[in-house]
Structure 1
Amino acid sequence: MSSVILPTTHIMSSAENKVENGSTEEEQRGKKRKMSLSSCGVCGSEEAKYRCPACLTHSCSLLCVKKHKEASGCSGVRNKTAFVTLSQFDEMTLLSDYRFLEDTGRFANGATRDNLVQAPRVTVKSKKLASNARKMNITLRFLPITFTKSRENSTFFLTKEKLFLWHLKLIFPQSSSEFTQRRVSDKQTLKQILTAYIHPTESEPVTRQKLKMYVQARFDHVKVFMKVEGRKANAVRYHELDIEKSLRDNLSYKTLIEYPVLHVVLKDHWKDYPLKGPAEPASACAPSAEENDKVGQEKETTQFSPSPQRSPTTGETNISRTAQEIEPPPQKKAKRGYEDEEQEEGEITDSSDEDDKNIPCDKSCDDAKGPANDTKDEVQ
């Protein structure tokens, strides 16, 4: 009898491969089934099939995903900057950080090519508006053109008539309403401007219905305020405007950013709008009370100071020091602090204001300092 030899090694290797492949498939299935072992976090009746990248909440269908976002307000976007412990840091986390840096660089590079960013901050139109407003004692400042307030500004100046047509914004806080009016002449009074909004008969019916509280109130129970620009957020102050005066008179000696924003307030809420302290206009050349006291002290010391004596040995002349010359340094520092306190609390200084202080005085200042200079000449 002849014996048949079978290739046992090949059969064994194929069987082992099948066993290994079967075990890997079972492991992958086990990993896939891990999520399905937990129930849906929204309905709780079905097995979970999805997981939210942001809050890791399980869900079973698209309907449950939408319900989860509506109920919790979750965006469904994974937080790329969330903290990851070193024990949980793996290759996927490293790849996520690398892609996040790539996106950041791409966004920064795209911003440099944006036409709005490369545009100049101050245009020719804004320079003309600022110069014409300066002639009317109005400080007009502008924002970069990327700002919404700058894009919606429609202020125009008529050169022949020397007239501003302002872009005006009216805020009625008691009715939670805002209105924007274009090309408002600065010769109109505030009462004429408000007539189109809160007059019982001349205003539009739709506007009258929105501003019902203002229509029922009298004009003397309504005040108009404008926010003081250049102050800190915790020290907001307002200008009180005169309804009977024109818009140009109300805006004189005030600072505007792009266009005026007026707050129309009823009588019961006037206390919510603190006013800025009354400004006392004083010329830079006018001598202050401290300077007058210094001049008086110098006069007294020159009158009662002894005559100069010549030393018999050296032949030098000894002159007595005045009270002003021997004034201790702490008093001088105190005077400087008093000048700094003249600025109202909460007001932000501007570099343009500091430059104005450094402007040399006219001849009138020299005339005001004349008596002090004369007394010094007499001592010498």
Structure 2
Amino acid sequence: MDSSCNGVRDKTEFVTIGKFNEMHLLSDYRFLEDAGRLVDCAARDRLLPRQTSNKFLNFMKNRARKHSIDLKILPIGFAKRKMNSTYFHKKEQRFYWHVKFQFPQSEAEYTEKGVPDNKILHKILERYIDPTESDPVIRQRLQIYTSSPSGVKVFMVLDQKKLGLGRYVELDLQKSLLDNLHNKTVIEFPTLCVVLKDFAGDFATCGQASIC
């Protein structure tokens, strides 16, 4: 047995036409999608403000407070502080949020940057779980969601040690991200847990307020 084998196929390995099958096609498609996504993320990152001065962070907190959002900024060195790409667009007078999505029934997580605060929550989720509009690669990973007849519920994580254990507040799919964050505490950026309705009872909620 080759001890150097890690069980993962080399995505750039040459495969003859005779041996090329649907699994190779799907793998190549995912490889191209991943490459495209990395290029897109790199381009977006160059456009996103990266100010970390106290003046800028206080400005962000004050703007959030005007929208009745209690934005907490962690000290330098914390992982969430380092990865947070949220910024406030002065001309548009709008937040563009860094959002983390958890899909516990598929054991999957995704991060999206630059989510406008006026976008309706169910529209934000389209690229993940819509049966026709979602990203094909993501759709394959989240198949249990895209094929579920019962639909989903979305909870914002208030604190969490592991999925299902912590405090959550249910959000309204028909409201904007801004409206959903109203009167809530956000530590750096929102983490949203997307749950099939059949499993929603496993998540302890704290009502509409962020304190419980």
SS in 2 for 1:188: coil
Query: 1 or 2 for the larger relative contact order (CA 8 Å, sep ≥6)?
Result: 2
Q: How does 1:94-243 map to 2 (within 5 A)?
A: 123-218=54-149, 221-229=151-159, 236-243=166-173
The amino acid of 1:255's aligned partner reads T
> Offset of 1:221 from its aligned partner?
2.2
* Unmatched tracts of structure 2, length 5 or more: 1-51
2:103 aligned partner, one-letter code: F
Q: Which runs of 4+ in 1 moved over 4 A?
A: none
Distance 1:191 1:216 in 2: 16
Cα shift at 1:247: 0.2
1:135-191 CA distances to partner (integer Å, 9 max, x unpaired)? Answer: 000000011110111100000101121100000110001101100000000010111
8 Å contact 1:122–1:144 — kept in the other structure?
no
Displacement of 1:229: 4.9
SS in 2 for 1:143: coil
In the alignment of these two chains, the number of paired residues is 156
- How far does residue 277 in structure 1 lie from its aligned partner after superposition? 4.4
Q: Please report how far the alpha carbon of residue 272 of structure 1 lies from its aligned counterpart in structure 2 after TM superposition.
A: 1.2
Per-residue CA deviations over 1:266-315 (Å, capped at 9, x if unaligned) read: 02211111111466xxxxxxxxxxxxxxxxxxxxxxxxxxxxxxxxxxxx
Structure possessing the higher radius of gyration over alpha carbons:
1
Match of 1:256 among 165, 171, 186: 186
SS in structure 1 at match of 2:92: coil
Give CA deviations for 1:211-262 in whole Å, capped at 9, x if unaligned: 00000014x62000012359xxxx8321100001000000000000000000
User: Which of 275, 280, 288 is the equivalent residue of 2:205?
Assistant: 275
- Identity in percent: 47
Question: Where does residue 32 of structure 2 map in the other structure?
Answer: none
- How far, CA to CA, are the matches of 1:165 and 1:278 in structure 2? 23
Correspondence 1:1-380 to 2 at 5 A: 123-218=54-149, 221-229=151-159, 236-277=166-207
Tell me if structure 2 keeps the 8 A contact 1:145–1:151: yes
Return the offset for 1:124.
2.0
Going from structure 1 to structure 2, the CA distance change for 1:278 and 1:168 (only over 3 Å counts) comes to closer
Q: TM-score, normalised by structure 1?
A: 0.39
Kindly provide the amino acid, as one letter, of the partner of residue 227 in structure 1: V
2:56 aligns to what SS in structure 1?
helix
**Per-residue deviation, 1:122:** 7.0
C-alpha distance in 2, partners of 1:183/1:161? 13
Is the 8 Å Cα contact of residues 222 and 264 (structure 1) preserved in structure 2? yes
Tell me the SS of whatever aligns to 1:236.
strand
SS in 2 for 1:237: strand
Contact 1:149 1:258 in 2 (8 A): yes
Structure with higher helix content: 1
Find the residue that maps to 2:204 and give its secondary structure.
coil
Q: What CA distance in whole angstroms lies between the structure 2 residues aligned with 1:267 and 1:248?
A: 23
Deviations 1:318-366 (Å, cap 9, x if unpaired)?
A: xxxxxxxxxxxxxxxxxxxxxxxxxx8xx5xxxxxxxxxxxxxxxxxxx
| 8 Å CA contact retained: 2:170, 2:208 | no
Equivalents in 2 of 1:278, 1:130: separation in Å?
21
Q: Distance in 2 between matches of 1:206 and 1:154?
A: 24
